[in-house]
Structure 1
Amino acid sequence: MHELTVIIQVVKSVEAFAKEEAITNIDTLVLQVGELSTLIPRYIEACYPAAVDGTMLKDTKLEIEILPGNALCKTCNSVYNLIKEDKICPKCKGLYFEILSGKEFMIKEIVAC
């Protein structure tokens, strides 16, 4: 489970940002995770309490937004969701595509109190 290592790094980054900006209390951390990312949101949620234990984020809430795994069909130029359509273009049934979104993992927002 590499999620714990990633979340520990996120916590360190957020703490460094908070220190630079003189933020002392954080209420919520909002992350965005793409459907095609190697990170699994439920594992992130499970690891979060351990990652924030003993840090300034120990009492924060975690929110995760899922970003769609969209692709562009190389045959007909339709945009579709790879997960929902099982990687097959719903318009032309093509199998050749370019990934447009869904691999992202980022800190979207740090909500201070």
Structure 2
Amino acid sequence: MHEITVLVELIKMVETAAIENNIDEIDTVVVQIGEMSSIVPRYMMEYFPNAAEGTLLENSKLKIEMISANGLCHHCNKVFKIVKNKGKCPYCKADDWEMLSGMEFILKEIVIKETLAPE
């Protein structure tokens, strides 16, 4: 379960950015995960509260956006969804392709909590 290690590093990275920018509270951390990466989104969601405990992100939410695994067929030069088509180009049925996306793990956004100014 390397998701815990990934979460710990993600939290460190977000905390560093927050401290450098004088941010006290983080509402949401948004990450993008490629559907063919080795990271299991369900585990990320499940372990995030425990990994964030005692950190600046303790009361934050984790939002995951999935990135489709897309391939470029070497035979017909068309882009297709790899997982949906089980690794075969739906246009020419070839299985000789180059992966364009689907292995990513990206910290996309850090959403800070809005604090109302005193009147």
**Alignment TM class, shorter chain as reference:** over 0.9
The one-letter code sitting in structure 1 at the alignment partner of 2:92 is C
Task: Determine the C-alpha separation between the residues in 1 that align with 2:46 and 2:112.
Answer: 23
The alignment covers a number of residue pairs equal to 113
Verify: 1:72 aligned to 2:69, yes or no: no
CA separation in 2, counterparts of 1:6 and 1:16?
Answer: 15
CA distance in 2, matches of 1:94, 1:18: 47
* Offset of residue 26 of structure 1: 0.5
CA distance in 2, matches of 1:18, 1:100: 32
Percent of paired sites with the same residue? 46
The residue that corresponds to 1:5 in the other structure is: 5
Secondary structure in 2 matching 1:50: helix
Aligned to 2:35: 35
Q: Counterparts of 1:1-113 in structure 2 under 5 Å?
A: 1-113=1-113
Superimposed CA distance per residue, residues 49-89 of structure 1 (whole angstroms, 9 cap, x where no aligned partner) = 11101101010011000001000001101100100000000
User: What amino acid sits opposite 1:99 in the alignment?
Assistant: M
Q: Deviations along 1:19-45, whole A, 9 cap, x unmatched?
A: 001011110110100011110100111
Letter in 1 for 2:67: L
Unaligned runs of 5+ in 1: none
What secondary structure does 1:11 align onto? helix
What RMSD over aligned residues (CA atoms) do the two structures have, in Å? 0.5
Q: Which runs of 5+ in 2 are unaligned?
A: 114-119
Aligned residue type for 1:86: K
